[in-house]
Amino acid sequence: MTKASDRAYEAIRGMILSGELSSGDPLREEALAQVCGVSRTPIREALKQLEVDMLVTRTESQRSYVADWSLDDVADAFELRAMLEGHAAKLAAERMTDEILIALRYCNNAIYEAISKPDPDVNAFLDHNRELHALVLKAAGSRRLTNLLTALIEQPVVWRTAHHYDPKAFECSHSEHADLISAFERRDGAWAEAIMAGHIRRAFHAYADAHKGMTKGVGETERGAA
């Protein structure tokens, strides 16, 4: 993925998530092309993808703007994710292979390594967490489900959530993964589904709690009291 359209995608996404661009800001193709150092063609592809990701909205006249991300929107996304990823866990339990099971255990051990030190390695946690959830999707074996979820999992939200975790929250996440693996070992789809749904919902509340007090929308810069 060293193509210009991918770099443009990452660049624009980064600008949105870092707060360099705020909700509602217009995204003009030519301006972005200059900033990203590419032509408009890859910019258009990137914007199309970001629109699918719901980080960008388009008016009826095809102008693009940075999407608004209210807490309600995030709640909406998390609820859908809980449902779909719960379903994925159920399917995964029914279709689990020994190979993937081993990989899952390895993955959760790596998560443990990352968080069980005085100074938790949040990035390592995120990497292995992502890998673990990807393994569940792989075991579920539904391309459509994978597609839907990747469009739904806003990695930035996960990032923000994890960076507000306290040691106990990390431990909780690891413990839930362990339960999930137990459910997989026993091929207990209903259990796996319940654990996963709870796992996602817990993450949402962690996000919502961390979000409390922030009066501004996600990605918006602080402006101080008027």
Per CB under 8 A, contacts with a second copy among 42-81 are: 45, 48, 52, 54, 73, 76-77, 80
User: Residues in contact with DNA, total (CB under 7 A)?
Assistant: 23
> In the structure encoding, which two tokens stand for residue 30, read together?
């030519």
Query: Using CA atoms, how far apart are residues 64 and 118, in angstroms rounded to an integer?
Result: 44
Q: Is 12:2 a contact under the CB 8 Å cutoff?
A: no
The 128-147 site mask, x for binding a second copy (CB under 8 A), equals --------------xxxx-x
Close Cβ partners of 152 (under 8 Å, ≥ 6 residues apart): 77, 80, 81, 84
Close Cβ partners of 3 (under 8 Å, ≥ 6 residues apart): 42
Q: Is 160:207 a contact under the CB 8 Å cutoff?
A: yes
Q: Which amino acid appears at position 113 of this protein?
A: E
> In the structure encoding, which two tokens stand for residue 93, read together?
């339990």
- For position 212 contacting a second copy by CB under 8 A, the verdict is no
Half-sphere exposure of residue 151, counting CA atoms within 13 Å on the CB side?
16
- Binder of residue 73, out of a second copy, DNA, none (CB less than 5 to 8 A by kind): a second copy
- Binder of residue 61, out of DNA, a second copy, none (CB less than 5 to 8 A by kind): DNA
Q: Which of 22, 39, 142, 146 binds DNA (CB under 7 A)?
A: 39
Q: Which of 42, 86, 156, 189 binds DNA (CB under 7 A)?
A: 42
Per-residue DSSP letter, 222: P
- Binder of residue 128, out of a second copy, DNA, none (CB less than 5 to 8 A by kind): none
Q: Is 192:94 a contact under the CB 8 Å cutoff?
A: no
Q: Which of 23, 49, 64, 129 binds DNA (CB under 7 A)?
A: 64
- For position 63 contacting DNA by CB under 7 A, the verdict is yes
Q: Which residues bind DNA (CB under 7 A)?
A: 2-6, 26-30, 38-42, 44-45, 59-64
Q: Which residues bind a second copy (CB under 8 A)?
A: 41, 45, 48, 52, 54, 73, 76-77, 80, 83-84, 87, 142-145, 147-148, 151-152
